[in-house]
Amino acid sequence: MEPEPSKQLNMVSLRGIPSVDQLLTHPNAEALLREFGHDWTTSAIRQVLDEARGEVRAGKPLPGDQELIERVQELLVTQSEVSLRPVINATGVILHTNLGRAPLSPETLKQIELVSAAYSTLEFDLASGKRGKRDVHAADLLIRLTGAEAVLIVNNNAGAVLLILSALAKGKKVAISRSQLVEIGGGFRVPDVMKQSGAKLVEVGTTNRTHTADYEAAIAEGTRLILWAHQSNFQIVGFTSNPDIAELAEATHRSDLPLIVDLGSGALVDTSRYGLAHEPTVKEVLYAGADVVCFSGDKLLGGPQAGIILGKAELLEKIRKHPLYRALRADKLCLAGLNATFLHYLKGNAEDEIPILRMLSAKPEDLKARASLWAAELGFGSVIEGVSTVGGGSLPGQDLPTWLLALRCKSAQKAAGALRQHNPPIIARVQEDLLLLDPRTVLPWQEEDLIMGLKSIEKLIEA
Ligand SMILES: *Cc1c(COP(=O)(O)O)cnc(C)c1O
């Protein structure tokens, strides 16, 4: 039997599909080969030809060679887009973990670039010409800043907690208040980390109230170490009580045991300067008697991702000798960045240079001026009062008054989605039919891109 006429036509069309080699010799393929290389270009051609074959079988016309090579180019461009790329954070959440937490200061970036473009003194002592230690680099500056005896830097604070407990508490009873058995997010739960380290968890007190006597009772029953963990991302309010770190240190030291403090955010400056609650600073916690303190590099410190461990030299030496330290230690980019960040604090220019401290200290009247300028440049939108938050598991429930650019939309969700597709992507807040943009977290050099992005979605905006 003869095939139906349309099938017949398609069989002819299928035969008309060019070969991979044919497309490789197309004049426009040359530039693609130069940019993407032979293997990658060939595999893109195969994919495009497969798709074309499917289309022809479905009764669609056979695309010409020119059209096919254009599809190959599109595919290669899409495949080569890096997925980790900068965005404009207009959410007003300063330490947005999903958006990479703290942006770095220009000096910090410069130091990272200098150290990584060449060989470095990472583990090399220039005076002796012999092997040195990578921990010395950030350590001297941080010791000067905090008065700690010794410093160790690892990958992140979750790693720091795991390392400290593995080195000091394996097989030992560790007491922690029930109010501090926290989950930080991203699956980091204090009780799980304790279990992983081999420590035996001893819960003391209740969710809302824990007293020094509760810890003392645990010590009497064989607890060998006390852990104090920052609640970070929640607050217990009302009828609450917890001994402060000084009281707890006194009780712990009476029995000759160490007090470990997971500070979480680790502020080096007094947060009450910004109208926020006072967070115990690293220096205060050490002064109050904590033996080992750890915190993140990319939260309130405003530096690169790191877990910073400091405290008594004898305990830190034990931690440094644990095999996990080798697995968790910080890399040279992180150490270079921390050095530059610590220098800002030592020189007293942290508030001018470190982006997140600039954001924290931004004055509402200046934020209002920026939002108003945006509205004026756009010719649409209004400026309304609102709040920014610190985020990143720091200072929960603490808001900072701000001014927002508010855009009324038919669908604010749709407009927010369109902004995410802009290059660079813009991340805004949605509140009912309003699209809200907070100048506090938009870096000044991103403003031009922000305005361009907002203009590009003008047709989705009503007022
Ligand atoms: C954020 C936080 C951690 C985890 O720190 P990372 O640097 O994100 O690994 C651990 N403990 C507390 C109390 C925290 O707030």
**Mean pLDDT calculated for residue range 136-159:** 95
Cα 263 to ligand 1 centroid, rounded to whole Å:
8
Question: CA dist 127 to 120, 124, 463, Å?
Answer: 14, 9, 66
Predicted confidence at residue 3, as pLDDT, reads: 53
**Between residues 264 and 393, the one the model is more confident about:** 264
Q: Which of 163, 296, 308 to mutate to test the pocket of ligand 1 (most atoms within 8 A of CB)?
A: 296
Percentage of residues of the chain with pLDDT beyond 70 = 97
Rounded CA separation 244/238 (Å): 17
Q: At what angle do helices 106-117 and 332-347 cross, to 10 degrees?
A: 140
Q: Kindly state if the Cβ of 158 falls inside 6 Å of ligand 1.
A: yes
Token code pair at residue 204:
């003391």
Report the nearest atom of ligand 1 relative to the CA of 307.
7
DSSP string of 78-112, one letter each residue = HHHS-SS---EE-S-BTT-GGGTSPPPPHHHHHHH
Residue 459 φ/ψ, nearest 5 degrees:
-70, -15
pLDDT by residue (tens digit) across 68-99? 999 999 999 999 988 999 999 999 999 999 99
Per-residue pLDDT band for 4 (boundaries 50, 70, 90) equals low
- Going from the Cα of 119 to the center of ligand 1, the distance in angstroms, rounded, reads 31
Nearest atom, ligand 1, residue 306 CA: 7
Binning pLDDT at 50, 70 and 90, where does residue 135 land?
A: confident
Tokens 């007090």 correspond to what residue? 259
Residue nearest to atom 15 of ligand 1 (CA): 264
The pLDDT value given to residue 396 = 74
pLDDT of residue 240: 82
User: Residue 371 in contact with residue 403, Cβ under 8 Å?
Assistant: yes
Closest residue by Cα to atom 2, ligand 1, is 264
Q: Which H or E run includes 259?
A: strand 259-264
Q: What is the pLDDT confidence band of residue 10, given thresholds at 50, 70 and 90?
A: low
State residue 359's pLDDT score. Answer: 97
| DSSP line for 248-294 | HHHHHHHTT--EEEEEET--SS-GGGGTSPPPPPHHHHHHTT-SEEE
Q: Is the CB of 157 within 6 Å of ligand 1?
A: yes
Backbone torsions φ then ψ of 391, nearest 5 degrees: 75, -170
- Asked whether the CA dihedral 373, 379, 381, 383 is positive or negative, the reply is positive
Atom 12, ligand 1: residue with shortest CA distance: 264
For residue 2, pLDDT over 60 is answered with no
pLDDT for residue 448 is more than 60 = yes
Question: Which residue in the block uniquely carries the two structure tokens 């440094």?
Answer: 320
Q: Which atom of ligand 1 is nearest to the CA of 297?
A: 7
Pull the structure tokens for residue 177.
Answer: 């208040």
Give yes or no for residue 184 CB within 6 A of ligand 1.
Answer: yes
* 296 CB within 6 A, ligand 1: yes
Among 83, 73, 91, 38, CA closest to 450: 91
Residues 6+ apart with CB under 8 A from 255: 219
Q: Does ligand 1 have an atom closer than 6 angstroms to the CB of 180?
A: no
Nearest CA to ligand 1 atom 5: 157
